[in-house]
Amino acid sequence: MKKSVAEALKKKIEDAERSFSRADREFNLAAESFHYAKTVYASETAALVVFRKQPTRRLALAYFYWIPARGGYWNYFFVGYPHVQAMQHVADALKKVEAYNFEVRRNEEIE
């Protein structure tokens, strides 16, 4: 991961930590605060970030992904099982799309 992208990720993690630690945040019924625990780098443009919630001591997992548009920026969402299930469908669909595109390219080279 490029240094500038990694630095931007660090700032976005801090923003998420601050944003989700607000006691007046919607759905924050337990008045939890989020504290950065660790980052698992998934690729040059994606990372999983673990937060520890206080006072409940539970963990939360966020998926951070780099958007290269407009100079580049990080976005994120907190992952739940419905997201994982949907991404499994995305992986299957992407495999089919890539296989189709391979055949199209191969046929273009033959013609």
Q: Check whether residue 72 and residue 23 sit in a common domain.
A: yes
Same domain, 8 and 56: yes
Question: In this structure, are 67 and 36 located in the same domain?
Answer: yes
Distance CA 21, CA 51 (A): 11
18 and 62 share one domain? yes
Q: Which H or E run includes 32?
A: none
Per-residue pLDDT, averaged over 25-44, amounts to: 93
**Where does the pLDDT of residue 36 fall: very low under 50, low under 70, confident under 90, or very high at 90 and above?**
very high
Query: The whole model's pTM is what?
Result: 0.83
The number of angstroms, rounded, from the C-alpha of 1 to the middle of its chain's C-alpha atoms is 15
Same-domain check for residues 35 and 65: yes
pLDDT band at 106 (very low <50, low <70, confident <90, very high): confident
d(CA 16, CA 20): 6
Alpha-carbon distance of 31 to 70, in angstroms, equals 35
Q: Verify that 63 and 24 share a domain, yes or no.
A: yes
Where in the sequence is the domain holding 30, given as residue range(s)? 3-79
The mean of the pLDDT values for the chain is 94
Give 47's DSSP letter. Answer: E
Structural domain tally of the chain? 2
